[in-house]
Chain A
Amino acid sequence: MNVIFQSTYYTLYQAANERCFYVDFGQKTVRMSLCQLLALRHKVMSINIEDHFDSDLNAHGFEVLMLCNKEHLFVLNTLEILDLKTLVSNSFVSLGLSVGALETITS
């Protein structure tokens, strides 16, 4: 497996022989197709991090992420979400599918 990108808490690997990717979340490693990786990107980049600093919009500063058709569930705090955003955006640049300059997803 080749490392595509490593952030503070997470790592994305490419498994060429299986034609898939693995995301190491620390507690567990999740196997993903590119479609599932795109779905993860959409979910993560749709999170408005500013809500974490407004107790009316996000009282506890946590996000619940369900991945791979609800096969995996993660509860992540503000720092972990920020780190996951870094992982996702940089990974797509490393994969050659993004130039990294335009972040256009809005919730």
Chain B
Amino acid sequence: MKDIARQSMSIKVESMDLLNGQIKMEAHASATYLAMASWCEQNGFFTSAKFFFKQAEEEREHMMKIFNFLVDTGANPISPEVTGINHDYSSIVDVFESTLEHEVKVTKSIHNIVKKARELGDFATERFLDWFVMEQIEEENTVRDILDMIEVTGTEGVGLQMIDNQVANWIE
């Protein structure tokens, strides 16, 4: 019997489901960073706003990378529904702490898919995610460095203004 299914699709449906979940997560991250950019603009942190506009774009690129991988493997990519975006932050420190939390969540999710792909023997998905594993190290490191800088600078006096200016160092 001809294997039409395997000829039409190169990955397992379980991997496809997990990658569709990741698409949703990246879209959510992109929308969250856009909300953070909006908060920064409204509270006078204009350099941080630029940083978050750029982050929002990057997350969308990640989403599209996964989306296109699913297209290339003959799978069924699902355009994500994004809801429940938080627009309220108590301070700029809160914004960056939430960013790190978010990045850690994304890293855990990527690692989980790699683990499952390995269990499934889905080498294509596992290799595809290599780039994301390394990218997440960079993403987490950037936000950790910013939080370290905030700690050193302090938020008293002109500290907040200095923090915002320093964020420019992390905008590529």
Contacts and interface: CB of A to CB of B under 8 A. Distances in A.
A41 B2 CA distance: 21
A16 B1 contact: yes
A24 to B, nearest CB: 17
Contact of B14 (A16, A20, A96, A99): A99
Given A38-B76, A99-B12, A16 B17 contact: no
Interface residues of A, number: 24
User: What band does the interface of chain B fall in when counting residues whose beta carbon is under 8 Å from A?
Assistant: 20 to 34
Given A34-B74, A38-B75, A104-B14, A97 B4 contact: no
A6 to B, nearest CB: 16
Nearest to A96: B6
Given A98-B13, A104-B17, A34 B116 contact: no
Interface of B: 1-6, 8-9, 12-14, 16-18, 20-21, 74-76, 78, 116, 120
7 contacts: A42-B76, A95-B5, A96-B6, A98-B12, A99-B12, A101-B14, A104-B17
